[in-house]
Amino acid sequence: MPVISEKELQPVYDVIVVGSGAGGGQTAYTLTMNGVKVLMLEAGRYYDPLTETPMFQSRAQAPLRGMSTREKPFGFHDATVDGGWEVPGEPYTQASDNPAQRFDWWRARMLGGRTNHWGRISLRNGPYDFKPRSRDGLGFDWPMTYEEVAPWYDKAEMLVGVYGSNEGLENTPDSPEGCLLPPPKARAGELYVKKHVAKFGIPVIPIHRAILSVRQDFEKLPSKLHPGNARAQRILAESMKARAACFWATDCGRGCSIRANYQSTTVHLPPALATGNLDILCDAHVHTVTVGKDGKADGVTYIDKKTGKERGVKGRAVVLAASSGETARILLNSRSARHPAGLGNSSGLVGKYIMDTVGAKLGGSVPAFENLPVHNEEGAGTHVYIPWWLYKEQHAGKLGFARGYHIEFGTGRRMPGLGAGSAGPGYGKAYKEEVRLRYGAGIGFAGRGEMIPNENSFCELDPSVKDKWGIPVLRFHWKWSEHELKQAVHMEQTFAMMIEAIGGKVRKPATDGAKAIEPGGSIIHEVGGAIMGDDPRKSVTNRWHQLWDVPNVVLNDGSAFCSNADKNPTLTIMALAWRSSEHLIEEMRKGNL
Amino acid sequence: MDNQHSESLRRMDRREVLRWIGGAAAAAAAASRLPVGEAQTSARIGRQTGAPGPGGARIGSDPILNKNYSPGDLWPLTLDAARRRAAAALCDLILPPEPGDKRPSELGVPDFIDEWISSPYDETSKDRPVIVDGLAWIDAESGRRFGGKAFADLAEAQQCAIADDICGKKSVKTEFKTAQRFFERFRWLAASGYYTTPQGWKDIGYVGNVPTIEFAGPTPEALRHLGLI
């Protein structure tokens, strides 16, 4: 079974997986390794990082020196194709004209989805993050604990390959021996920050990222991940052997043709295809889950984007991993006499409680970094970060906002881009000297914080606007609460404090949260919209992300998240998709679905 | 890319350029009248007019990524020969080569500036009048001061006399304020074009983009520089 054309579809599959990113990729991997026959439907085109990735291209080899454009928002060489905050022919709308109430929705219509370009930051949610309401009375508790999820984090880390270290810090879980790969060394500027912010109690530690700092242990890991399954072990060992270690050049956001970082297309899908149990159909835009007379889901309806025709395909179970927004849209569009408000929506909560990550940033120039002896500082992007360090102060109510953030920052002489010569005034030799002096003498801090789900941030079907195939589109409502706005101010103030602590020059930090915070959707950590829980009246899915109303529909993207910790969601999506896929297999074996 | 190559890049003739500018202005005006729901755009990149580039070309949402592009590949360049000469001379004055290095004009930097101002994006096309008018001004000013000569034909000291008046190093007279805005934008573009080339990398002190078995981390000299050892 391979990447197929429409004519090669089987009449019925065990499981139809909608979406091919982190959630869909992990689901297809887990199911097919266990012998389940899977059809994966991807709304975008086929994409092959091995042949399409721009490795080593200079910005001078890109149009407009790689400038960020409407069509390529992260610059020309970013891996994303047919994606961004706008997708031609596939609009979405805003309920309000107020810029503070916008939600900008990033989509990537390509095989592997957003995993092709993401930041690869792979942090575990900690014990507090699964029980936030119990801790501070806000938002929702997850219907499981960190301890229940931890073994799945272990598996996900071992499978995809994550570099990092164990630091024993509060709510920043350590991984068991053998899970993590060694972290790369910190850069000079990062060590300098570490030294000078220690007095504030701010820790600078190796970050966790899904990048092979060394090759994976293909002799030990497969048997740990697939005990008793010799065939799966063999297939995984082959896949791991085919992945090279990072060679510390070429921005990860371009994708990786040597498979050194995690993309669904280089890590999840090759072994899943090698099982012979996976068919992948691209350019297949699913818009509804179909329901049989027995009330169970029996397949999906999709638009074949190559012909514009509507098609259907049957499956015994359906996994939606289309991205939170798209999953909510599919559920809301799956209206029937039995499910008049959309599939799985008896609670009325489909589309509700959507979340992004709180973002704020501040940069400065650092005289100490000027004239740093030249050496190769490229590495693999982010090497270190600052985990949230004020749990105790926050819990004691001293901060005025309820949830934490982590800090990512960048220093060093990286590949020059537009604005590389931002010096002046003047020209000629003196100007060039000044450019040299300033290049690499800057620092940029970015905060990534937890947003608490709220009643005012949700999506619904637009009553009139449809996409080019006539499918109703999403309309977004968005509002930050004081917790997020105050958190963004705290971020900027902290960044300014740190920049000053290293002798840098920085603008005055914002005191108005609305000015400090980046617009909703900017950080592309969209989760929620079909939250899980223990009570069918107050949640859309159970703890295995099965729709309460239709248990053979499982949501394996971030849509079932009922909180959005500052830890970037992708690793959690993978861990939970693995866990729920094994549960799905069990349920199918028992005949419960 | 050298001068010879530069001459072979795809360009538009003057009449076509005028037609294109008129069309782009009309498209921008039309886009500004779109209803809110239709002109849906990202807050991050701002509202765009969607005016087409020359020949209607844009980068598109699915370009071939691992191909090496030259200015003119996606849309034709639009600077005329006189402006190109002025641009080349100004690039070389702003970014004089180190011994043994090529001049920016030999590295395709003016072609990048031409690509930029010929492109259909809001961030770039707003620079078009600034750069085109500025290049015309600098030739006119050269002629006025130095016996009808074009900027490119001036001696370096003469070029400097003009540049010194507009570069902002010393206080700029009111009559040169527009020229100063041109100079600053031109310098930003020239430096962006230059420092993104391999020679520019070496010049600025960027030694990455090479594969290594291990990430070596900071050198002892770098650590000493920061007082870390």
Confidence bin at B5 (pLDDT 50/70/90): low
User: Does the pLDDT of residue A260 top 70, yes or no?
Assistant: yes
Q: What is the largest CA-CA distance in chain B?
A: 65
Interface of B with A in 33-72 (CB under 8 A): 36-38, 40-45, 48, 50, 58-66, 68-69
Interface of B with A in 72-101 (CB under 8 A): 73-74, 93-96
| Mutant choice from A376, A462, A476 vs B, greatest count of B C-beta within 10 A | A376
By CA distance, what is A72's nearest residue in B?
B61
Confidence bin at B41 (pLDDT 50/70/90): very low
By CA distance, what is A374's nearest residue in B?
B205
Identify which of A69, A428, A465 has the shortest CB distance to residue B37. A465
Check residue B53 and give its pLDDT: 64
Check residue B30 and give its pLDDT: 54
| Mutant choice from B1, B42, B203 vs A, greatest count of A C-beta within 10 A | B42
Interface of A with B in 277-296 (CB under 8 A): none
Question: Is-contact A369 A441, C-beta < 8 A?
Answer: yes
Bridge pairing between strands A3-4 and A205-206: unpaired
Size of interface A-B (CB pairs under 8 A): 263
Mapped to the 3 state alphabet, what secondary structure does A50-104 carry? HHHCCCCCCHHHCHHHHCCCCCCCCCCCCCCCCEECCCCCCCCEECCCCHHHCEC
Confidence bin at B24 (pLDDT 50/70/90): low
**Interchain proximity A58–B37, CB inside 8 Å:** no
Identify which of A77, A185, A432 has the shortest CB distance to residue B65. A77
Bridge pairing between strands A458-466 and A38-41: unpaired
User: Does the pLDDT of residue A328 top 50, yes or no?
Assistant: yes
By CA distance, what is A71's nearest residue in B?
B61
**Interchain proximity B216–A435, CB inside 8 Å:** no
How crowded is residue A284: how many other Cβ atoms within 10 Å of its Cβ?
23
* Calpha distance A555→B57 (Å, rounded): 40
B96 vs A contacts (CB less than 8 Å): 428-429, 432
User: Does the pLDDT of residue B46 top 70, yes or no?
Assistant: no
pLDDT digits (tens, 9 = 90+) for A466-488: 999 999 999 999 999 999 999 99
**Interchain proximity A416–B69, CB inside 8 Å:** no
**Interchain proximity B205–A440, CB inside 8 Å:** yes
Interface membership of A10 toward B (CB under 8 Å) = no
Check residue A424 and give its pLDDT: 78
**Interchain proximity B62–A465, CB inside 8 Å:** no
Average pLDDT over residues A555-576: 98
Check residue A383 and give its pLDDT: 98
Q: How far is B22 from chain A (nearest CA, A)?
A: 22
pLDDT digits (tens, 9 = 90+) for A409-454: 999 999 999 998 777 789 999 999 999 999 999 999 999 999 999 9
B168 vs A contacts (CB less than 8 Å): 424-426
What number of residues does chain A have?
593
A247 vs B contacts (CB less than 8 Å): 211-213
Average pLDDT over residues A57-80: 97
Check residue B40 and give its pLDDT: 36
Check residue B21 and give its pLDDT: 73
Interface membership of A434 toward B (CB under 8 Å) = no
A188 vs B contacts (CB less than 8 Å): 218, 222-223, 225-226, 228
**Residues whose CB is less than 8 angstroms from the CB of residue A36 and which lie 6 or more positions away in sequence, other chains included:** A14, A15, A277, A585, A588
Exposed, middle or buried: residue A505 (CB in 10 Å: 0-12, 13-18, 19+)? exposed
Confidence bin at B52 (pLDDT 50/70/90): low
A184 vs B contacts (CB less than 8 Å): 215, 217
Average pLDDT over residues A537-562: 98
Q: Please give the mean pLDDT across all residues of chain A.
A: 97
Interface of A with B in 189-218 (CB under 8 A): 189, 191-192, 195, 213
Q: How far is B223 from chain A (nearest CA, A)?
A: 6
Interface membership of A46 toward B (CB under 8 Å) = no
Bridge pairing between strands A309-320 and A384-386: unpaired
Q: How far is A444 from chain B (nearest CA, A)?
A: 18
A71 vs B contacts (CB less than 8 Å): 58-61
Q: Where are the beta strands (DSSP E) in A321-387?
A: 354-355, 358-365, 384-386
Identify which of A188, A371, A427 has the shortest CB distance to residue B187. A427
pLDDT digits (tens, 9 = 90+) for A383-421: 999 999 999 999 999 999 999 999 999 999 999 999 987
Is the peptide bond prior to A49 cis by the omega test (within 30 degrees of 0)?
A: no
Confidence bin at B28 (pLDDT 50/70/90): low
User: Does the pLDDT of residue B11 top 90, yes or no?
Assistant: no
Report ipTM (2 d.p.): 0.94
* Calpha distance A291→A48 (Å, rounded): 34
pLDDT digits (tens, 9 = 90+) for A339-398: 999 999 999 999 999 999 999 999 999 999 999 999 999 999 999 999 999 999 999 999
**Interchain proximity A432–B95, CB inside 8 Å:** yes
User: Does the pLDDT of residue B25 top 80, yes or no?
Assistant: no
Helix (H, G, I), strand (E, B) or coil at A12: strand
Residue of A218, A190, A222 lying closest to A206 (CA atoms): A190
Residue of A558, A582, A588, A559 lying closest to A572 (CA atoms): A558
pLDDT digits (tens, 9 = 90+) for A123-157: 999 999 999 999 999 999 999 999 999 999 999 99
| Mutant choice from A45, A57, A64, A77 vs B, greatest count of B C-beta within 10 A | A64
Interface membership of B186 toward A (CB under 8 Å) = no
How crowded is residue A412: how many other Cβ atoms within 10 Å of its Cβ?
24
Identify which of A375, A414, A416 has the shortest CB distance to residue B196. A416
Which secondary structure element, helix H or strand E, spans residue A443, and what is its range?
strand A442-449
pLDDT digits (tens, 9 = 90+) for B111-145: 999 999 999 999 999 999 999 999 999 999 999 99
Question: Is-contact A183 A163, C-beta < 8 A?
Answer: yes
Question: Is-contact A538 A349, C-beta < 8 A?
Answer: yes
**Interchain proximity B65–A54, CB inside 8 Å:** yes
Q: Which domains does chain A have, with CATH numbers?
A: 1-57+68-83+107-143+218-356+526-593 (3.50.50.60), 165-206+358-449+481-516 (3.30.410)
Interface of B with A in 124-163 (CB under 8 A): 124, 160, 163
Percent of chain A past pLDDT 70, that is, above it, reads 100
